[in-house]
Amino acid sequence: MQEPLLGAEGPGYDTFPEEPPPAPGGRAPVRTLQNKKVFLATFAAVLGNFSFGYALVYTSPVIPALEHASDPDLRLTKSQASWFGSVFTLGAAAGGLSAMVLNDLLGRKLSIMLSAVPSAAGYALMAGAHGFWMLLLGRMLTGFAGGLTAACIPVYVSEISPPRVRGALGATPQLMAVFGSLSLYALGLRLPWRWLAVAGEVPVLVMILLLSFMPNSPRFLLSRGRDEEALQALAWLRGPQADIRWEFEQIQDNVQRQSSRVSWAEARDPQVYRPIVIALLMRFLQQLTGITPILVYLQPIFARTAVLLPPEDDAAIVGAVRLFSVLIAALAMDLAGRKVLLFVSASIMFAANLTLGLYIHLGPRPLTPNGTMGLESTPLGDTEQPLASPTSYLTLVPLLATMFFIMGYAMGWGPITWLLMSEILPLRARGVASGLCVVASWLTAFALTKSFLPVVNTFGLQVPFFFFAAVCLTNLVFTGCCVPETKGRSLEQIESFFRTRRRSFLP
């Protein structure tokens, strides 16, 4: 069976108490309620995730509008719509690639702030677009900014957070991304597509303003030899009443042991490559659940199936469920642990994907075909399906199944994969490895998003959902065999665990 992090023995393992020793000067050790400033720093950073979530689903209400645009230069064909939906992921992969350098070169905070430049430029291009190329370029630039923040923000939040609340704070990037998506769905009911792009500029500007007053990661500052600045940053994050000497010494000791970058020879060491491989596979499997194509084409999917409510209302409802589910994950992550939520998450997603696939394959067809996004092709065997009654409660199945899928994803495989990536990666390789994880994640997302419509048009809308269900079963096995439990452990304790070369551990 698996070994716990605390109490593990071995020549390379440092067993630290969960609480620091009492301070001789009488000041209290670090407590959750004394760390109010760390929440402000976290909020400032995760505004970048809000913009990322907003930009990711921008196509959901915009593509249907552009398919019927009066301007022929902006009217989208099926092929153009497919590229407009998927090119965001290519930009995100490029952003993750740049993060492999910028994360360690500029630091976590400055890298997040730098993402505001392509983000603002991308929204401006889409807001003033007069041709398809401006839409594509704007979409790619916002994707680049999203990929950069996806690699930098979880690392920044993880490195400034105390162990007691790192799970909750580690869920905030996903929470803000979900809130950004929900905001887009809600605004999409009221605003025209150009004004949706204008509205996307607001969180970018607020993020830049707030982050200007926030400290950099103490771990990054120590790795650059800026010890005094690191001590000041940690003191600001922990509050004036906290005794930070114990925590500062542990971070300093860990940084000194990892004062140089990982060489290719050292990368073959299990304590280095094991956490990197686990993080990479988690990001790969997360995308294979189908989350990105489902979010990007959410309204068109509802339009293609027999649903009781209008597709745009269904999309907004799903966005609200996603936000609620991430809130549950944020509250439960430091109580139930990471692995329990991953198991629950994969099980719910499996049931939802299987249900949606069976409904599309065997259930009723919509009364009127919808041409949105090229999903109008009749699935195999569709001629045998009965027509849906407008008031049939059976037509609630797509909405309910999608709600459960989003709920399952948002409770586990959404926020926890980002959190674990920032927790288990070794400090010496954290900047490069987090960028590599983002690159792998978004290249997978691009492949899925770009191939989604051709697969649907060739084999039917049910086929992708059967594939996603099979991936969710794989995720269950992977979680049980490979994923460590990191609840309540400091980043230094987690690194010490991987140095023991034990196969696995239990909470």
Q: What is the pLDDT of residues 250-273, one digit of tens each?
A: 888 777 766 556 555 565 666 677
pLDDT of residue 112: 94
Q: How confident is the model at residue 378 (pLDDT cuts 50, 70, 90)?
A: very low
Residue 61 near residue 303, CB atoms below 8 Å: no
385, HSE (Cβ side, Cα atoms, 13 Å): 20
Q: Taking the model in full, what pTM does it have?
A: 0.69
Q: Residue 390 and residue 170: Cα distance in Å, rounded?
A: 43
Decide: helix, strand or coil at residue 264.
coil
Q: Which residue has the higher pLDDT, 400 or 349?
A: 349
Q: Which residue has the higher pLDDT, 100 or 1?
A: 100
Q: Which residues of 101-131 are buried (b: 16+ CB within 10 A; e: fewer)?
A: ebbbebbbbebbbbbbebbbbbbbbbbebee
Q: What is the pLDDT of residues 317-335, one digit of tens each?
A: 776 777 777 777 777 766 7
Mean pLDDT value across residues 492-497: 73
In the predicted structure, residue 21 carries a pLDDT above the cut 60 = no
Of these ranges, 78-82, 205-209, 310-314, 366-370, the one predicted with the greatest mean pLDDT is 205-209
- CA nearest 301: which of 217, 374, 224, 193? 374
Q: What is the DSSP string of 292-357?
A: HHHHHTHHHHHHHS--SS-HHHHHHHHHHHHHHHHHHHHHHHHHH-HHHHHHHHHHHHHHHHHHHH
pLDDT of residue 386: 44
Q: How confident is the model at residue 127 (pLDDT cuts 50, 70, 90)?
A: very high
Decide: helix, strand or coil at residue 486.
coil
Least confident window among 103-112, 199-208, 322-331: 322-331
- CA nearest 301: which of 402, 417, 198, 185? 402
Q: Which residues of 18-50 are buried (b: 16+ CB within 10 A; e: fewer)?
A: eebeeeeeeeebbeeebbebbeebbbbbbbbbb
In the predicted structure, residue 381 carries a pLDDT above the cut 60 = no
User: What are the CA-CA distances from residue 377 to residues 78, 130, 134, 457 (Å)?
Assistant: 12, 30, 29, 5
pLDDT of residue 307: 53
Q: What is the DSSP string of 2-54?
A: PPPSTT---TT-----SSPPPPTTSPBPP-GGG-HHHHHHHHHHHHHHHHHHH
Mean pLDDT value across residues 445-474: 87
pLDDT of residue 46: 93
pLDDT of residue 23: 47
Q: Residue 374 and residue 33: Cα distance in Å, rounded?
A: 52
User: Domains in the chain, start-ordered, CATH in brackets?
Assistant: 32-499 (1.20.1250.20)
Q: What is the pLDDT of residues 339-349, one digit of tens each?
A: 888 999 999 99
E strand or H helix at 198, and its extent? helix 193-199
Q: Where does residue 297 rank: exposed (0-12), middle (13-18), buried (19+ CB within 10 A)?
A: buried
pLDDT of residue 189: 80
Mean pLDDT value across residues 230-251: 83
The vertex-285 CA angle with 43 and 83, nearest 5°, equals 80
Phi, psi of 387 (to 5 degrees): -75, 145
Helix and strand numbers, DSSP H then E, in the chain = 23, 0
Q: What is the pLDDT of residues 157-197, one digit of tens each?
A: 888 888 777 777 877 887 888 889 888 888 888 888 899 99
